[in-house]
Amino acid sequence: MKRCPTCNKTYTDPNLSFCIEDGTPLVRDVSEDSTDVSSSGRGETPAGPSVGAGDWKAPGYQPPGSYTPPGSVGPKRKVWPWVLGIVGVLIVGIVGIAVAAAILLPRMMRPSVDRNTPVSNANVGGNDNERADLNANLGNKNSADVPTNTNTDTEDSGDSAPPADADQVLAQLTDLENEWTVANLNADKKKLERILADDYVGLTPEGKPEGKAEYLRTIKRDSSVEKWDLDDLKVTLRGDRATLTGKITLRVEGKDVVYNFTDKFVWRDGRWQATSSQVALVQ
């Protein structure tokens, strides 16, 4: 029989070396050995406590250094799932910011109004052919000097009624005159196609009538004009018809060339369109 010197619990299993309660090495039970000797019938009483033959070799008690009571320490938590989770959140955030920037930046950089497109609005004469000759002297004008034609850019539907206010019509036709002049200088046939009515008829310098198609075919770009000014503008309004008279001064190679002009317009398809023009050089 073996005994635990710490808790004094005895064990009969000969193969057991440590106490199952506290892990202390077991020793042979001395009291049992004494009983065995006294019961042998020899009549010998030991002078002192009987010690088994192997007890002197039994090692002294040493508390186990590595023993840990069951349940005192839990399983270690793994750290790498947390690291992967944080990295994943960062990646998703970066991707979200990049997508938002790709969508919003082009909208912020997109101009609300295209102000770089030259607006060509000056009516240089009553005659389209006269205008072609005048454009040869008109040159290119800086777009910064050209007022924006709000009439043609923001036209109403084709069924809208023509404006009835003379001041409003004067402002609209002034813009259209400037737009017409720029289109002549740049030989912008697309713009002229819009400004001139299909039934437009003008007079050539020789006094020959010329329609819209011939005018567009013969127009040429010219860059000799440095600038121009419109003066003494007056409008006559009769329903959907308007007549604009005035004076245009062209700055050509440092010299001023002045023309009187009369242009007629009709309100059609929700905008003013030129139907005829006349121009005369002022000596």
What 3 state SS string does 154-197 have?
CCCCCCCCCCCCHHHHHHHHHHHHHHHHHHHHHCCHHHHHHHEE
Higher pLDDT, residue 263 or 52: 263
Q: What is the pLDDT of residue 102?
A: 84
Rounded Cα distance, 261 and 245, in Å: 6
**Per-residue pLDDT averaged across 40-52, rounded?**
45
Which tokens sit at 277? 């023009």
* Nearest CA among 251, 234, 248, 278 for reference residue 181: 248
3-class DSSP state of 126:
coil
18: pLDDT strictly greater than 50:
yes
Give the integer Cα–Cα distance in Å for 160 and 157.
6
- For tokens 């955030």, what's the residue? 93
Average pLDDT over residues 102-108: 78
Q: Residue range 41-56: average pLDDT?
A: 46
pLDDT of residue 127: 45
When pLDDT is averaged across residues 81-106 and rounded to a whole number, the result is 88
Domains (range + CATH), the chain: 1-73 (no CATH), 128-281 (3.10.450.50)
Between 205 and 71, whose confidence is greater? 205
Secondary structure of residue 137 in the 3-state scheme? helix
178: amino acid identity, one letter = N
Average pLDDT over residues 199-211: 81
Question: Does the predicted TM-score (pTM) go above 0.85?
Answer: no
**Quick one: what percent of the chain has pLDDT higher than 70?**
64
Higher-pLDDT residue of 80, 283: 80
Pairwise CA distance, residues 134 & 131, whole Å: 5
Q: 224 with 87: CB under 8 angstroms?
A: no
Q: Over 50: is that where the pLDDT of 143 sits?
A: no
